[in-house]
Amino acid sequence: MNRHSFGAVATTAILFAGFAGSTASAAPPADVVIHLQPCAFAPAEVGSWNATGAINDSGSYQRTDAETSPPDRPFFSTGPVHETFVLTSVQGAFTVATNSRVTDSGQPGAWSISDGAGTYADTSGHGDFAVAFSPLPSCLGGFTVIVTLTGVAGKVGTSAVAG
């Protein structure tokens, strides 16, 4: 083997050795449970939230959009509902969009995370949506409403922080 061939082989081997250990992989999404508890429905729905799992935080939220289909259908009658919530904490904020269907037995649906800031700048997630009512007293008075979002979330706290 001549000197040039040996140099090319050695250089190629060094390059492959360097790349072998540098494969990047993102952590897979992890389970998350988010609870929303409304405290007022007018003039805007606002309340508190808490989450465990991939997101481990709590704060306040506001519903920024709510639409029924057809548009003139009364809000609590059976049919599709689209809602958008902005969840805020000292760590940041993120938007949750829900699509559900009010039925005689509940309000099942799906949710997804978008538009994060702070710790949640790169966060994504999705899962199932459910609403439960309880006769326990709360900030609403003599009953409690809990919206439960179960699913997965990823890229929590992965954005680069300038500094």
Task: Show the DSSP H helices in 25-153 as ranges.
Answer: none
Mean pLDDT, residues 134-146: 88
Chain segment 30-46, per-residue pLDDT in tens: 999 999 999 998 889 99
The third-level CATH classification (topology) of the domain covering 26-154 is AOC barrel-like (2.40.350)
pLDDT surpassing 70 at residue 161 = no
The count of C-alpha atoms lying within 13 angstroms of the C-alpha of 17, restricted to the half-sphere facing its C-beta, is: 6
Q: Give the per-residue pLDDT at 160.
A: 56
Query: pTM higher than 0.85 for the full model?
Result: no
Q: Give the per-residue pLDDT at 18.
A: 47
Determine what percent of the chain is predicted with pLDDT higher than 90: 58
pLDDT band at 162 (very low <50, low <70, confident <90, very high): very low
DSSP annotation of 101: E
When mean pLDDT is compared across 79-88, 119-128, 154-163, the lowest value belongs to 154-163
Q: Which helix (H) or strand (E) holds 20?
A: helix 3-20
Residue ranges covered by each domain of the chain: 26-154
Look-up of token digits 């999404």: 29
Q: Which residues of 115-141 are buried (b: 16+ CB within 10 A; e: fewer)?
A: ebebbbbebbbbbebebeeeeeeeeee
Q: What tokens were used for 128?
A: 């199932």
Q: Give the per-residue pLDDT at 17.
A: 45
DSSP annotation of 103: B
